[in-house]
């Protein structure tokens, strides 16, 4: 399973790269705003910086919601760096644009997926990734992981090459269950990846090992 970091924060990206387990990055307009990145030139420069830090796909989201605008923005993003994946919202013109990008060999990530039908449509249009939002479905009392499971099953039934990128992954159990289900990718904050390191018995066991070593080597 690939680990993507869901952030536009360069320090967090550097930290995950240093850990040696990062396969890519996803961003969205909210995450860019959180870092205070504004203005087209700054946005483009920031994406370039992210691409230079990470050896893997970097999702950069279009703002336009009409076909011509999505195509124009997506082509400009794709020209920035070979790692760029154009993130396109799950809307009618988005699906048409994904088809266009697929024919041109431009990678896409269809975002804001909340049903298996939306995922199927994006796969048929040729999306490279679909992003079901696990946490946001949980937030409204639905089962986000069940959606991931459904999409994995459907894509496997028909051999779609589209990868299931579980997004809005909020905590370690989410990530582990995505791995059990067979999601191709999870994208999450650094805290979730760091959370995989932890268990109190690991800390306790290490403290005992070191204390015993010190006792006989003092
Ligand atoms: O990748 C989508 C993600 O940024 C949404 O996460 O936690 O805002 O639902 P969240």
Known catalytic residue at 104 = no
Res 218 pLDDT > 90 = no
Report which ligand 1 atom has the smallest distance to the Cα of 26. Answer: 1
CA of 131 to the centre of ligand 1 (A): 10
Predicted local confidence at residue 20, as pLDDT: 97
Short-list 205, 206, 193, 185, CA closest to 59 = 185
Report which ligand 1 atom has the smallest distance to the Cα of 136. Answer: 9
Predicted local confidence at residue 30, as pLDDT: 95
CA-closest residue to ligand 1 atom 3 = 168
Phi, psi of 61 (to 5 degrees): -90, 140
CA–centroid distance for 210 within its chain: 38
Q: Is 118 in the pocket of ligand 1 (CB under 6 A)?
A: no
Average pLDDT over residues 29-43: 95
Q: Is 188 in the pocket of ligand 1 (CB under 6 A)?
A: no
Q: Is 59 in the pocket of ligand 1 (CB under 6 A)?
A: no
- Express each pLDDT in 180-206 by its tens digit: 999 999 999 999 999 999 999 999 999
Q: Is 168 in the pocket of ligand 1 (CB under 6 A)?
A: yes
CA-closest residue to ligand 1 atom 4 = 168
CA of 155 to the centre of ligand 1 (A): 23
Report helix angle 67-80 to 40-53, nearest 10: 50
The DSSP-derived string for 29-92 is HHHHHHTT--SHHHHHHHHHHHHHH-SSEEEEE----SHHHHHHHHHHHHHH-TTEEEEEESSH
- Express each pLDDT in 158-170 by its tens digit: 999 999 999 999 9
Catalytic residue among 34, 87, 96, 204: 87
Q: Is 135 in the pocket of ligand 1 (CB under 6 A)?
A: yes
CA of 122 to the centre of ligand 1 (A): 19
Q: With a threshold of 0.75, does the pTM exceed it?
A: yes
What's the CA gap between 181 and 39, in Å, rounded?
Answer: 40
Contact status, residue 25 vs residue 4, Cβ threshold 8 Å: yes
Report which ligand 1 atom has the smallest distance to the Cα of 131. Answer: 1
- Express each pLDDT in 99-134 by its tens digit: 999 999 999 999 999 999 999 999 999 999 999 999
């Amino acid at each position: 399973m690939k680990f993507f970091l869901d952030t536009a924060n360069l320090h967090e990206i550097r930290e995950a790269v240093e850990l040696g387990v990062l396969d890519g990055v996803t961003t969205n307009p909210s995450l860019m705003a959180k870092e205070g990145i504004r203005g087209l030139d700054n946005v483009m420069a920031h994406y370039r910086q992210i691409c230079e830090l990470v050896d893997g796909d970097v999702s950069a989201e279009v703002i336009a919601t009409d076909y011509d605008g999505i195509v124009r923005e997506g082509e400009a993003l794709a020209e920035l760096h070979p790692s760029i994946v154009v993130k396109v919202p799950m809307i009618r013109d988005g699906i048409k644009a994904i088809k266009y990008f697929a024919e041109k060999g431009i990678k896409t990530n269809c975002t804001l997926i909340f049903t298996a039908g939306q995922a199927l449509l994006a796969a048929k249009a040729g999306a490279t990734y679909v992003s079901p939002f696990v946490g946001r479905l949980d937030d409204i009392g639905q089962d986000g992981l069940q959606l991931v499971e459904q999409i994995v099953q459907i894509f496997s039934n028909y051999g779609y090459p589209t990868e299931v990128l579980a997004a809005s992954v909020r905590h370690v159990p989410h990530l582990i269950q995505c791995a059990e289900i067979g999601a191709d990718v999870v994208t999450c904050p650094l805290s979730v990846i760091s959370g995989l390191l932890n268990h109190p018995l690991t800390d306790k066991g290490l403290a005992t090992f070191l204390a015993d070593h010190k006792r006989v080597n003092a």
